[in-house]
Structure 1
Amino acid sequence: MMTPSEADEAGRARYTYRLRVSSTARTALLAEWDRCRWIWNECVAKSKAIHLRNNSTGEKRTCGPAQLDGMLTEARERTPWLREGSSVPQQQVIRDFGRSRAKASKDIRERLPHVEHGRKARARLTRYDRMMARRRPRKGQATSKGYREAKTWRAKTYAKIARQRQETGRKWAKKVVTDHDAIAVEDFEPRFLARSSMARKAADAAISATKRALIEMGRKHGRDIRLVHPAHTTMDCASCGARTKHALPLSERIYTCTVCGAVSPRDKNSAHVMRAGLNPAGAEGVRPPGALLPEAA
């Protein structure tokens, strides 16, 4: 072990300690952790109840750290078991819950936007289609001025929708590559969606164009973009790696592992599986492996 003077000359010293607690201290710590866990679960339940009530009644009630602190004070007055513990870690649990909820809300807002530019312009496109249908010339006849104008307006509307989709995808891709150094993208082709009931929404979301914009933006800013093979990303468990044997319909949004019993939202479980693919055996990276990751701009 280096002396402090040697550590100062070398730059920095690192010491490793191992804390051994007695059985009495261990019992006290476990009891304190139980109280903190109970407070966290109560914060989650109260936040969900307020959210459901706001959705059903249209109210705008809040459940922030200030309200939760007041509830904690009332709970400590009524519950002797909770009053036996220190108020400092219990209040810290409430502050940690507030930060975690704020981060979760931010992640939800920053998901891939689905502005539905095509749906908003559907009324105008339908109007132009009807104008063209009424003025459609017979075979061998010249087109009328109204037909040509409706055709021009229709083409301009489709071009505007395409530009809006590209601009939305580029803005989202720029924000993603600014906030992250390494990104895993599911490398799937959305062609099969054209034969499903989601064809119109999938086309309006411009999934392929958005993925292409993300890859180009990541290459431009020097980020590590990994294309993960889409096989079994929704069937593998992110906790234990086991693969589900039964089929998972799209209506089933909660993933439950039959091996380890882990339960999580299906999209979140798939995201964790894809994140494990940042350094897989067969992943295709858009940048040579081993290159240094620059800090986010």
Structure 2
Amino acid sequence: MLKISVITNFRKNLKSEKNINSPLLFFGPENFLIKDTIEKICTLKGVKKKTYFLSEVSLEDIINSASSFSLFEEEIIYVVYEFELLLSNLEKLKQNLNFFKNNLIFVSQEEIISTKLLFSYFKGKDISNYLPKDLLEILKNFEIIYSSKMKKDKLKSLVIQKFLKHSISLEKEALETLLNLVNDLQSLKWETDKLVLYALETNKKIIKKEDVQLLCVGFEFNFWDTINLFLEGNYDKFIEYLEKAYRENMYLSIPMFLGRLKNIIKGKTSYDKMIFSKYPKQVLLLYKYFIDLDINLRKNSNIKSLSQQLLISVLNNIKI
């Protein structure tokens, strides 16, 4: 009899390593949840993991490597991607499954069981007769976890909760723009992290559609790249990006840059500390540059001309 779980239910029941009593097989379109669940399992069991890709090593190589590790190291979870590459030789897989006991996690990057059959299974129907016999015999050895795409309403709820933790709200249009922009949880995490940081740095309490367009992947201007262009010495491109930022949101772009640079100077994150230790003089001069730019733009809205004039002054103080 097959044992198949939806990943969200599997995670809810994952309270003890005793819940894991067979090798696991993950598949489905939501990779972020798969990776996060594997990390959760390793933490729960208090063990390290070793990751392999079957396009790079054979199952025999993994077993040989595992045999060597077992002599010198503590318990390890073996995470093996590209399970689908074993389907042409299921007999060999069957012979070696016992070697790993319950410390084996396979991840398939292809659909092992069709969505139609999964729906039938979750409705309580027996799908055994619809699977090849040799595949069925192998799958019976695993607890199979299907990582489906989250419904949009659930994603909305997760995003709203994340921002509320920081006392930030999103306008309806901003939320819709964000969810239309990303199509997986990993990207959603990156983009929401970016928006939260931006809001905290600029003391914003409400994220608007324009903020999403200004900051998130998929739109022409990328604020994070602009500072990097300056630090790397690509000044022409820096001016070009700065113009875009100002055109798209003139009232937010300069305070945003100042807030970001202030955090780099303070070493708010390990990344900020690394940047400041590598480019201390450039960061301080760039901070002064944006202060001067902000003051002068109140008198003259020609950002390109002002940017170039101030840049010459800044570059005269940098020995590259």
Q: Tell me the TM-score normalized by structure 1.
A: 0.27
- Which structure has more relative contact order (CA 8 Å, sep 6+)? It is 2
Q: Larger % of strand: which?
A: 2
Q: Tell me the TM-score normalized by structure 2.
A: 0.26
Computing the radius of gyration over CA atoms, which structure comes out larger, 1 or 2?
Answer: 1
